Structure 1
Amino acid sequence: MAAARRRLDGELVRRKLAPSREAAQKAVADRRVTVNGALANKPARMVLGGDAIELLGPPPKYVGRGGDKLEGALASFGIDPTGWHCVDVGSSTGGFTDCLLQAGATDVVAIDVGRAQLHNRLRRNRRVDVREQTDVRSVDPAEIGAPFDLVVIDVSFIGLDRILDIVASLAGDEGQILALVKPQFEAGKQEASKGKGVIRDPEIWNRVLHETIAASRQRELLVGGIDVSPIKGGAGNVEFFLWIGGPAASVADLVDEHAVNTAIERVGALP
C-alpha cells in the first residue's frame, strides 16, 4: 500500500508548525520551509509523512539585506526619515526602499538600471515610484520630484564619483545623502582581481574612503559622518557609509583622518 501523500501547507498545520493553512502558505512564500533539507517553493506540493519538514526562523524584516545595512546607518547617524521625501539610487530588490518606508518615509522613488528586480510588495506599494531601466545620470531631477530630503545610494560596477553630480542635484541645498561605499568597485580592477573581487586590505579601504570624500568636497558637498556598514556585502566585502550633508554645516564638522580610521577599526567587530 502506497504511503499517504498530503499537501505541504496542510502537513505544516497537521504537524503544528503553522496555525493555519494561510499561515503555512505565507511561510512557504517567505522561503522559510524546507522539505528534506531543500527550500520548498510551492505550498501545494505533495509530501510524505516521513519527509523531514522544517520551519526556519522568522521572516527577514526587509525584502533584501540592504535594508539591514541602511537601518544600521540610520541608527549610527541618528537619522529619522519620518515624513521625508526620498529617492533610492540603485534600488535593486528594494532593501533600502523597504527600510525607508518602514522607518516612516512619506514616499520613495526607486531608481535602477535593471528591470523586474524590485520586490512585488514594494512594486504594489503606492508610496513607491518605480523607475526601472533608468540610469540616474540621465534623469531630470525635477521630473522625478527633486529636491529630496534624503538620497540613499547603493550602486555596483560604477564609482560614486561618476554619479555625485546628479546626486547633488537630487538632494538640492537642504537634502542629505547616505552613500554606501563599496571598495571592490572603487578600487582598481587589478586590486579587486587579486582578491578575486574581495578587498581585504585596510590601506585600500582607507585610500578609497579618502578619494570618495575628496570627490564630494570637490563638489562642495560636506561629509558629516562615516561608519562601517553593519553587514558585509557579497562575498564578504567590507563596505562603508558616508553621510553627506547632515550636521556638516562648516569645515569644523567635516570627517577627518581620525573618523576614517575609527570606521576602519570597527571592521574588526563585524560578524
Structure 2
Amino acid sequence: MLRNTKRSRGIGAVEAAATAAPRRKERLDRLLVERGLAPSRERAQALVLAGAVRVDGRAGHKPGSFVSPDAAVEVIAPDHPFVGRGGVKLEGALGALLIDAAARVALDIGASTGGFTDCLLKRGALRVYALDVGRGLLDWSLRNDPRVLVMEGRNARYLSPGDLPEPVELAVIDVSFISLRLILPPLPALLAPGADVLALVKPQFEVGKGETGRGGIVREPEKHLKALRSVAAAAGTAGLAVRGACVSPIRGAEGNREFFLHLSPGVARSLQGEELERLLGGIIRGD
C-alpha cells in the first residue's frame, strides 16, 4: 500500500510538470539585457528602434513588444554607414530636396540612437544639438563627439530660444507617438533667417485613432495625403512655409510609408492651394 501511494504521488508530480503553464513572454528590451546583447534597457530600446534587432529572423518589433523567452534574438550589423536607419532616410531627403548641411548649426529633434545626427555630421554639419525626450539612447560614438551637444530628457513641445545658445540653421525632426502638429509651434523662434527644416511625416501618428490598420500600418494613399495636408497646415499656422516634399527612401520599422516635408521660416514663399496639392499628390503617386 505504501509503495503504491508513493508511486501515485510520483506519477502525479510528472503529470503536473507536463501540464505546467508555459513560460511567460518577456519584453524584448528586457530579454536583450538578460542575454547580454545590450548593456541596459535604454540601449536595448535604441537598438530595436534602429532596426538592428531580429526576432526569429524578422525585424519590426517594438522595444516593449512581448516575445517568447525561447525566441531566437540577435543584434545584426547595419547595412549602411550610420548608427541608425534614420541616417538612410535623412541622406535620401537631403539629396532629393537639395539641402546642404555643411558648416551649419543643426538641431535634431527626436535624436534617439542618432541616425539623423550621424548623417548631418557626415554631411559636414558644424554642430548638432541632439534632443530627445528619452535618456541614454544616443550612440556612444556620437555622445563622445565634440560636435554633438546632447540634450536628453527634453520635450520639444516646450522649447524656447533660451534653451539653445545660438540660432539653428538646419532642423531635422523624427518623432514617434506624437503628432508633428504639436512639435512645430515653438520651432520658428529657434531658427536663423534662411534656415531649413526637414520634418519626417509618419502617417500612423497623424491620421488619428481608428485610422490605422492591423499592426499600426496606414496603407491607403488618401490617408497618406490627409497626414501630409494636416502637417502642412500646422506648419503654416506655426509660421513655416512648405518649400518641398519627398518620399523617404526606406519605410519605417513597422513597414509604414513615410514622407519628408521641407519647411522654412516665414509663409510668404509657401506652396499653397493647387500647387501644394500637386506636390503632395505627386509624391504619394510616385510621380
Q: C-alpha displacement at 1:59, in angstroms?
A: 5.4
Match of 2:255 among 236, 253, 257: 236
Preserved CA contact (<8 Å) 1:224 1:248: no
> Which amino acid is 1:214 matched to?
A
Matches within 5 A, 1:1-271: 60-192=80-212, 194-245=213-264, 250-251=269-270, 256-266=276-286
Structure 2, unpaired ranges of 5+: 1-51, 58-75
Preserved CA contact (<8 Å) 2:87 2:116: yes
Preserved CA contact (<8 Å) 2:245 2:262: yes
Preserved CA contact (<8 Å) 1:247 1:253: no
Deviations 1:133-175 (A, max 9, x none): 1111233323323420001000011111111111222224432
Preserved CA contact (<8 Å) 2:188 2:265: no
Higher-Rg member (1/2): 2
Q: 1:251 to 1:117 in 2, by over 3 A?
A: closer
> Which amino acid is 1:264 matched to?
I
The whole-number CA distance in structure 2 between the counterparts of 1:128 and 1:202 is 37
The whole-number CA distance in structure 2 between the counterparts of 1:168 and 1:58 is 35
1:91 partner SS: coil
1:175 partner SS: strand
Comparing 170-179 and 116-125, the one that deviates more: 170-179
Q: C-alpha displacement at 1:191, in angstroms?
A: 1.1
The whole-number CA distance in structure 2 between the counterparts of 1:136 and 1:102 is 24
Deviations 1:207-244 (A, max 9, x none): 11111111111223110001111110021000000000
> Which amino acid is 1:165 matched to?
P
Deviations 1:101-157 (A, max 9, x none): 000000100000111100000000000000111111233323323420001000011
Q: 1:200 to 1:59 in 2, by over 3 A?
A: closer
Deviations 1:20-64 (A, max 9, x none): xxxxxxxxxxxx9xxxx9xxxxxxxxxxxxxxxxxx988531000
> Which amino acid is 2:142 matched to?
L
The whole-number CA distance in structure 2 between the counterparts of 1:136 and 1:122 is 20
The whole-number CA distance in structure 2 between the counterparts of 1:197 and 1:143 is 34
Preserved CA contact (<8 Å) 2:242 2:271: no
Preserved CA contact (<8 Å) 1:224 1:246: no
1:79 partner SS: coil
Q: Which residue of 2 is the match for residue 3 of structure 1?
A: none
The whole-number CA distance in structure 2 between the counterparts of 1:121 and 1:59 is 18
For this pair of structures, how many residues does the alignment match? 213
Q: 1:214 to 1:248 in 2, by over 3 A?
A: closer
Q: 1:199 to 1:247 in 2, by over 3 A?
A: same
Preserved CA contact (<8 Å) 2:160 2:190: no
Identity percentage over the alignment? 44
Q: Which runs of at least 4 in structure 1 moved beyond 4 Å after TM superposition?
A: 56-59, 246-249, 251-255
Q: C-alpha displacement at 1:247, in angstroms?
A: 11
Structure 1, unpaired ranges of 5+: 1-31, 38-55
2:187 partner SS: helix
1:177 partner SS: strand
Q: C-alpha displacement at 1:246, in angstroms?
A: 8.3
Preserved CA contact (<8 Å) 2:80 2:88: no
2:161 partner SS: coil
Q: 1:138 to 1:214 in 2, by over 3 A?
A: closer
